[in-house]
Structure 1
Amino acid sequence: MSFARVPLLLALLHAVTAEQPSAPSPIAAPLRELPWGQLNFLHTTDTHGWHGGHLQEAQYSADWGDYISFAHHLHKRADDDGSDLLVVDTGDRVEGNGLYDASNPKGKYDLDIVKQQSIDVLTVGNHELYQRNTSDREFNKVVPDFKNSYIASNLDIYNPKNGERTPMAQRFRKFTTKNQGIRVIAFGFIFNFQGNANNTVVQPVEEAIKEQWFKDAIDDKEVDLFLVAGHVPVRDSPEFDAVYKAIRDSNWDTPIVFFGGHTHIRDYRKFEKKAWALESGRYMETLGFLSISGLGTGKKDEVEAAASPDYKRLYIDNNLYSLYHHSGKNASTFDTELGKNVTKAIHEARKKLKLDHAYGCAPHDYWLSRTPYPSDDSILTWLENQVIPDTFNFTKIPSIILTNSGAIRFDIFKGPFTIDSTFLVSPFTSGLRTIKDVPYSAASKVLQLLNNEGQILLPDLAAVSQTDRVDLDQLRAPFAPVNEDTFFHAHTSHAHDLALEHHQTFLGRKKDGDKDKDDTPQVPGYTTKDDAGTDGDDTIHQPIKFYQVPNCISSNVSFPAPEYAAAYGPVNFRPVHISTPEKVDIIYNEFIENWILLALEYLGEKREKKDTSAVLEGKSMTDVISDWIKKSPDWACPKEKDV
């Protein structure tokens, strides 16, 4: 595979680029070439509102308008050489960025921005289903915006207008590609999610594929490719495995391509030589590219071509340097009129939402997993030692405060912590609750159970996870320790085991002190290993080391001070014992309530939901973090004259 060798720094003026004005210029790096083929795909998943791009990370700084321009140029290439390009998105477009979350109603601007991209196959994600009003908006606005491409193979909704249960969208789509005439049957699934609001119904995939409409679709002999899109992890996925088996039982030789999501990783899985699956990361960091060559089109002289289709993939870093290279354009030829208009709309929306308003300024970077826990640079250590104790210092009752590490979604960078930052770091709305008067002997062991430490296990937690199918994103931070005997669903556990083993990830920022070298990659980022090897990342990255973090953390507040006695002379004191209270209150993030209750039951202190109550008037961890930053003198922004 050829590489494009380039200087290590690229001078790009924002005046002639379409990315957001405050976005950092991309850093040039060695690039792999786009494996263009007969049928090509662009894939996004788990964008979570990051459609304005990453404004603090040069490697992922292109926005949705740039993506529109990029897709336009690849469509033009397909038209010019007679190939085809299809665009796919597999859900979780909402929640996680101020562009979506800060508006009232949520998505007021973002949904109109997303619809400007021409997408051929679109599916739902679990984040579109948590809240009734979110799924209602999805049905009333997003489905009509993508009427011909939105597919909901196993999702129903109770129509907001008449209360009748109806499919969220069409169950499948059959279409023929523009230039090659490739006949495609496309499906759109969500994993067997049970955490949705009661206005939607997720049918288990294993049941949906038994219905007659699906049997008829996969029995169609006038098809050249089955396209299975879904908010489903591509690896070790019982849902995709079931779909694959069903198709093969009915249509044993037709090529299949899967597009997945949910686990926020780059991954590429081989089912067999005529069936591959692509997952394209998270947060608009990655534009997934996949090509298939050697497909038949139903014509007699082309039937034999399908005997050996050739699948190839590339994970594109979403910055203008990569997009220019893969589209064959430059700063003066890349932008399209629609792309520029969408970029402008994003900028105007950000201004209206005041997303750049700073609550304070971080004195240094705080990392989720790029630094050991505990350490001074760890977000979790910062929460545990400063934010949580300071927030709950009003209580006079000894309390143990618990939160899941998954309540934190992203790193904090040195510099302004803005309204936008609050949603990037912790977008969840779960309030804080308390269970009062718990014997300390039991309460002190809850954290150990939640983190599955030592010899204490909760065997029943596995059953809870199979019932609730919780969102892994919220339960724990990326790359947290995994144990399938506890409360993590098996397929997502395996995916994150893979992440730990195969996927070096996070930031496209140079480390302080890094020197430019012509012979080695200097841009930190993804170095992905998948079923096709180690050449999938379009940018030749410098690997990043990351560390495991616990599932949950805790802080003790208002505990009795230790008692001291003199030793080795009058000025030397040592603790004779640490005073522990007889009973404590447990305060926790509501998202982990079921596990708190189960842990207490296991420890012989059964409590029920009716025994819990709200704290801090139902404030969320997001509120706690932003309130603390506003008040902290250590996080005060320097005055302009001092900058």
Structure 2
Amino acid sequence: MSGSNPNLPIPRQPKKLRPFKSAVMCLSRDRCRIHFERMIANIGDVVTFVEYLRDTGADVVFIDTGDQTHGGGLSDADKPEGAQALLLHTSLPYDVLSPGKFAMLEAHPEIKEKYLAANVFYKPPNEPGAQRRQLGSTHRTWYTGSGRKITAIGVAFENESKTREAGVYIERVESILTHKWFTEQVLTSNPDVFLLVGHMSLSAKERPKWRLIHQAIRSRYPDTPIFIFAGHTHERQCIMGINRENPIRSLGIESGRYLETIGWVGANLTAATEPLELSRIHLDASRDTLIGLTGADPSAFTQASDYVMRPFHELAGRFGLDQYIGCLKNGKAKPILTTSEETSLRTQPLDYPWDTKKYSENDPHHAYNLYRNVAFPDVVPHNASEPYVLLLNNGFIRGPLYNGSFTLNDKFVNLPYDSQAFWSTRIPKMVAKKVLDRLSKPDDAAQCIPAQSGKALLSEDSQRPIVQGRYMRGLAETDGKLGDNEEESCDALGVSPPLMQCWPDKYGITLSKGIDALKGCDYVDFVTLEFLKSRAEPVIEKLMKDTASVQCELPSPGKPLWQTYGRAFSGDVIKEWVQISNTWNQLLLALILITGLLSAISLKESGRLGRSSVNSPCQLNMM
């Protein structure tokens, strides 16, 4: 091998096993800009990346741990959700897939061998009285191109409250350890590597479930490498030593959010008595980084990626996801860096961020505040003069809003969950304002926390083909620091710079204009989302009984009387606001054109006509 980096020791005869996990799905590169300007990879780039590495002779295992289609128009525009998009994903060269919580209603026999869900059972929705069936396979054993034997097991997190109603049954993880397929097939497979894969996180709550499987295997195979590829929480985590016995031969990794992260683990298999030679990194979804790590020709790489994306774009066209809704503009601007030495005076409008900056309720350029303070009052209320108190939570918006053309796909990406009606009940102002205090807990406050992150673009030293041997030793020089109590215990493999993720308060209220002038006993509309109504109702009932009935001298009230509120569903508010805003902009543009035409006629008559131009409705102003 050539092009070695002295800072990254290369084994003399490296044996490559590179478990790989992807959580990336983006329709177009210029719309996938979470956290970094150049995080622009799509699933075609990731597949091309994998194929380039495989062509070098490396053993590359391509894994997905669920929710591979959720969070965009390809899934949310379809009924049932993600059905056609998941079929496209099944044609990609995965070695193992596991279903996320949004994909547990339908089996896929065409990939059953690779679709692992050992503890997930379902009842076909169109077959009344049908018996429960296994959603996928329990496990898979296969040989890599270089002849290594791998055994993989797939599981899902236990969440009966949300799956039982849909006809899905999730068996407890400890129960599967007694089944014959586990004791007589998995535990007798004698592979070179075990892979534990599933839509179950490495969090403190769910990690004990991984430990159960890990311990059952480790009792029979004390030295065989075990890699865990987790999912569900979409948080970047890496843990060495899932159990205390022989921690130098195990590693668990979970990748980040939708459209954001590629979790990479590289392993050079060593003798049983030695630590594994490992590399791991959470790669941000940047096409430039993927090209750099393969050493591929950028043009050829892009052409191959575009070929993979063709059916995805065709499906998007059938769903009308490129339907232009309007132009989204933020009046605030930022300077554009034109060279490495100077900053141009040219500016461009900023996007509306979601979790990349510390939240302030006074920030007019935050996506959450745009929704509740601007879009909601312009779109939803029947009567704009009727005072209201709006209760929202921070989970119904998923990501930032980008300047420029706003399409139907952007609507699904930003507000991915099922549109819900708003509901309202008439209660005294003093009660409405106290609901938030009763719902909120100390840990519900706005916060910023560091998440392990890769770099959007790797440094020049690191941006060289992985297959040249980017290996780093795991436990050898750590003085035994790594252990199963560490939330992030892979520091010896190289720590990526922290990425701050910030969220608004879990719950927030918005007061309509003019409400401050009302007295505490004056009635207002208390408005909230349908799924929050059940949480707010007992709080309101108690406040009405304990507070309002005393201070406002009201008769003892019964349960709050609710009715649907407003003219729009929750998922359509931004879309309709963009349409309304553009209607006004078009009227203003028409007025400008008429004024300009009259001026031109006047100038022509005086012989002083010059050139003029008017920006298109969605041209971002560059000053």
- TM-score relative to the length of structure 2: 0.72
Specify the alignment match of 1:412 in structure 2.
401
1:608-636 per-residue CA deviation (whole Å, 9 max, x = no partner) reads 9996443347x532212211221125984
Q: Report matched runs for 1:413-492 at 5 Å.
A: 413-452=402-441, 481=446
1:512-568 per-residue CA deviation (whole Å, 9 max, x = no partner) reads xxxxx999x9xxxxxxx942228758xx87x66554410022223476562xxxxxx
Specify the alignment match of 2:19 in structure 1.
41
1:317-338 per-residue CA deviation (whole Å, 9 max, x = no partner) reads 333321222212112443575x
- Structure 1 counterpart of 2:46, from 58, 67, 72: 67
In structure 2, C-alpha distance between the alignment counterparts of 1:278 and 1:609, rounded to whole Å: 48
In structure 2, C-alpha distance between the alignment counterparts of 1:635 and 1:265, rounded to whole Å: 41
In structure 1, C-alpha distance between the alignment counterparts of 2:391 and 2:213, rounded to whole Å: 39
The question of 1:627 aligning with 2:560 is answered no
Assess, with a 3 A threshold, how the Cα gap between structure 1 residues 394 and 552 changes in structure 2: closer, same or farther: same
In structure 2, C-alpha distance between the alignment counterparts of 1:381 and 1:150, rounded to whole Å: 41
The question of 1:317 aligning with 2:284 is answered yes
In structure 1, C-alpha distance between the alignment counterparts of 2:180 and 2:538, rounded to whole Å: 41
One-letter identity of the residue aligned with 1:258: I
One-letter identity of the residue aligned with 1:342: V
Specify the alignment match of 1:553 in structure 2.
508
Specify the alignment match of 1:378 in structure 2.
366
Higher Cα radius of gyration: 2
Q: Report matched runs for 1:452-601 at 5 Å.
A: 452=441, 481=446, 500-503=449-452, 530-533=488-491, 547-557=502-512, 560=515, 562=517, 578-600=518-540
The question of 1:229 aligning with 2:193 is answered no
2:428–2:523 CA contact under 8 A, matched in 1: yes
Specify the alignment match of 1:119 in structure 2.
94
Identity over aligned pairs, percent: 22
Specify the alignment match of 2:565 in structure 1.
615
Specify the alignment match of 1:154 in structure 2.
119
The offset of 1:275, in angstroms, is 1.5
Assess, with a 3 A threshold, how the Cα gap between structure 1 residues 425 and 161 changes in structure 2: closer, same or farther: closer
In structure 2, C-alpha distance between the alignment counterparts of 1:367 and 1:108, rounded to whole Å: 30
1:203-241 per-residue CA deviation (whole Å, 9 max, x = no partner) reads 233444454443445532623322111112223223323
Specify the alignment match of 2:596 in structure 1.
none
1:122–1:150 CA contact under 8 A, matched in 2: yes
In structure 2, C-alpha distance between the alignment counterparts of 1:150 and 1:610, rounded to whole Å: 47
Specify the alignment match of 2:73 in structure 1.
98
The offset of 1:425, in angstroms, is 1.0
Q: Secondary structure at the match of 2:527?
A: strand
In structure 1, C-alpha distance between the alignment counterparts of 2:542 and 2:276, rounded to whole Å: 54
2:446–2:502 CA contact under 8 A, matched in 1: no
1:209–1:243 CA contact under 8 A, matched in 2: yes
Q: Secondary structure at the match of 1:243?
A: helix
The offset of 1:289, in angstroms, is 1.6
2:380–2:566 CA contact under 8 A, matched in 1: no
Q: Secondary structure at the match of 1:283?
A: coil
In structure 1, C-alpha distance between the alignment counterparts of 2:488 and 2:183, rounded to whole Å: 32
One-letter identity of the residue aligned with 1:255: P
Comparing 361-370 with 579-588, greater Cα deviation is found at 579-588
In structure 1, C-alpha distance between the alignment counterparts of 2:404 and 2:299, rounded to whole Å: 32
Q: Alpha carbon RMSD of aligned pairs, Å? A: 3.9
The offset of 1:347, in angstroms, is 3.4
Specify the alignment match of 2:254 in structure 1.
279
1:362–1:635 CA contact under 8 A, matched in 2: no
Specify the alignment match of 2:599 in structure 1.
none
In structure 1, C-alpha distance between the alignment counterparts of 2:389 and 2:577, rounded to whole Å: 19
Q: Secondary structure at the match of 1:60?
A: coil
- Structure 2 counterpart of 1:288, from 251, 255, 263: 263
Specify the alignment match of 2:469 in structure 1.
none
2:451–2:500 CA contact under 8 A, matched in 1: no
Assess, with a 3 A threshold, how the Cα gap between structure 1 residues 612 and 168 changes in structure 2: closer, same or farther: farther
One-letter identity of the residue aligned with 2:161: Q
2:381–2:566 CA contact under 8 A, matched in 1: no
One-letter identity of the residue aligned with 1:551: K
Comparing 220-229 with 243-252, greater Cα deviation is found at 243-252
In structure 2, C-alpha distance between the alignment counterparts of 1:210 and 1:124, rounded to whole Å: 22
1:259-292 per-residue CA deviation (whole Å, 9 max, x = no partner) reads 0122223221112222211112222322222122
2:26–2:32 CA contact under 8 A, matched in 1: no
Comparing 307-316 with 118-127, greater Cα deviation is found at 307-316
1:327-361 per-residue CA deviation (whole Å, 9 max, x = no partner) reads 12112443575x44222333344444242513232
In structure 2, C-alpha distance between the alignment counterparts of 1:371 and 1:587, rounded to whole Å: 27
- Structure 2 counterpart of 1:328, from 270, 288, 295: 295
In structure 2, C-alpha distance between the alignment counterparts of 1:267 and 1:641, rounded to whole Å: 45
The offset of 1:107, in angstroms, is 3.8
Q: Gaps spanning 5+ residues in structure 2: where?
A: 331-349, 464-486, 547-556, 590-613
2:388–2:515 CA contact under 8 A, matched in 1: no
Assess, with a 3 A threshold, how the Cα gap between structure 1 residues 631 and 554 changes in structure 2: closer, same or farther: same
Count of aligned pairs: 517
In structure 1, C-alpha distance between the alignment counterparts of 2:354 and 2:505, rounded to whole Å: 11
One-letter identity of the residue aligned with 2:231: G
The offset of 1:603, in angstroms, is 4.6
Q: Secondary structure at the match of 2:161?
A: coil
One-letter identity of the residue aligned with 2:574: I
In structure 2, C-alpha distance between the alignment counterparts of 1:218 and 1:603, rounded to whole Å: 57
In structure 1, C-alpha distance between the alignment counterparts of 2:354 and 2:370, rounded to whole Å: 11
Assess, with a 3 A threshold, how the Cα gap between structure 1 residues 221 and 167 changes in structure 2: closer, same or farther: closer
One-letter identity of the residue aligned with 1:187: G
Q: Secondary structure at the match of 1:254?
A: coil
In structure 1, C-alpha distance between the alignment counterparts of 2:527 and 2:279, rounded to whole Å: 50
The offset of 1:155, in angstroms, is 0.8
The question of 1:367 aligning with 2:353 is answered yes
Assess, with a 3 A threshold, how the Cα gap between structure 1 residues 77 and 3 changes in structure 2: closer, same or farther: closer
1:98–1:355 CA contact under 8 A, matched in 2: no
Assess, with a 3 A threshold, how the Cα gap between structure 1 residues 113 and 60 changes in structure 2: closer, same or farther: farther
